[in-house]
Amino acid sequence: MTRLSRRIFVLSGLVATGVAVTPRQGARAAAVPYPFKLGVASGDPAPDSVVLWTRLAPSPLNADGQGGMANADVTVEWQVSTTDRFTSLVASGSVVARYADAHSVHVIAGGLAADSDYFYRFRAQGQISPVGRTRTAPAPSSFGRDLVMAFASCAHYEAGYYTAYRRMAEENPGLILHLGDYIYEGGVGTSAVRQHVGAEIVSLADYRRRYALYKSDPDLQAAHAAAPWLVVPDDHEVENNYANMERGVEHGRVGRLPRLPQPDPDRLAAAWGA
């Protein structure tokens, strides 16, 4: 398996500090704030394709949830290569990052070989994103290569730093499985290692801002850049125990408690929309 290049870690660190990584230092590049501060990601690998993600957000924590972008759609180019220098492209294209979607994009990069490693990147507004590494699934009739898989869950931003994500990236996995509670919806804690920004989230702008806070962490960005992810949502992506059932053990007894009220439908739509 190809080792994770130092370039990925260097780029993720530069993004976290807000330094623009550009192909050239022209007047246009200097005039446009670096839009890839939330890094890149890939996921849902199939034998012949993988989903690529990024979001344009030069000011990720703006309260309006739009990441500091103007009210205009932006064309984003993407490339997939067998090398991290992109000397040989195997897939490329462009996609529109829409203001209505907070300038996030999901690209299905197809025509790829099964059970193979690839590198990918984006370009927009004269700027180039960090480089990510991904891997396609083996063909259905094949056992495929050995697979190193990491998994995570319940990653509360306030509870501690994301050094485990950094270690995952260093292990050079072929897949990362997240089992839910990627974000937590609560407001600012009083005895936390680090703190959320803003009160408990309820609106679409709130949820977008909370995802941006989590994704601004350089260790989480490194884990996303290292391998494709498969993600299973849980309750805190919306509201604690919003699925209408709560474990009785949390109240000192075994069994299930009565059903809880459903979350506000607007809040539910906002959470899933984000």
Q: Return the CATH number at 26.
A: 2.60.40.380
| Cα distance between residue 96 and residue 66, in whole Å | 15
Name the amino acid, one letter, at 57.
A
Q: pTM of the predicted model, to two decimals? A: 0.84
Of 78, 67, 10, 73, give the one whose Cα is nearest residue 35: 67
Lowest mean pLDDT among 14-18, 35-39, 114-118: 14-18
Mean pLDDT, residues 55-75 taken together = 98
Higher pLDDT, 143 or 124: 124
User: What's the pLDDT band for 242 if we cut at 50, 70, 90?
Assistant: confident
The answer to whether residue 34 sits within a structural domain is yes
The answer to whether residue 256 sits within a structural domain is no
Tell whether the model's pLDDT for residue 2 goes beyond 50. Answer: no
Of 228, 169, 227, 168, give the one whose Cα is nearest residue 44: 228
Q: Tell me, what's the pLDDT at 257? A: 54
Q: Tell me, what's the pLDDT at 241? A: 87
The answer to whether residue 243 sits within a structural domain is no
The answer to whether residue 268 sits within a structural domain is no
Q: Tell me, what's the pLDDT at 256? A: 54
Mean pLDDT, residues 37-45 taken together = 98
Tens of pLDDT, residue by residue over 136-156, are 999 998 988 999 999 999 999
User: What's the pLDDT band for 264 if we cut at 50, 70, 90?
Assistant: confident
Q: Tell me, what's the pLDDT at 40? A: 98
Work out the angle between the directed axes of helices 204-215 and 218-226 (0-180°, nearest 10).
80
Domain that holds residue 61: 6-237
The answer to whether residue 170 sits within a structural domain is yes
Of 104, 266, 154, give the one whose Cα is nearest residue 201: 266
Q: Tell me, what's the pLDDT at 255? A: 53
Q: Tell me, what's the pLDDT at 32? A: 81
Tens of pLDDT, residue by residue over 17-40, are 344 444 444 455 557 899 999 999
Tell whether the model's pLDDT for residue 254 goes beyond 80. Answer: no
Q: Tell me, what's the pLDDT at 190? A: 82
Residues 6 or more apart whose Cβ sits within 8 Å of residue 228 = 42, 43, 44, 45, 50, 134, 135, 175, 176
The answer to whether residue 270 sits within a structural domain is no
The answer to whether residue 259 sits within a structural domain is no
Q: Tell me, what's the pLDDT at 119? A: 98
The answer to whether residue 183 sits within a structural domain is yes
Mean pLDDT, residues 243-259 taken together = 51
Q: Tell me, what's the pLDDT at 11? A: 42
Total structural domains within the chain? 1
Tens of pLDDT, residue by residue over 185-230, are 999 988 788 999 999 999 999 999 999 999 999 999 999 999 999 9
Q: Tell me, what's the pLDDT at 156? A: 96
Q: Tell me, what's the pLDDT at 191? A: 77
Tell whether the model's pLDDT for residue 1 goes beyond 80. Answer: no
Lowest mean pLDDT among 2-6, 139-143, 220-224, 267-271: 2-6
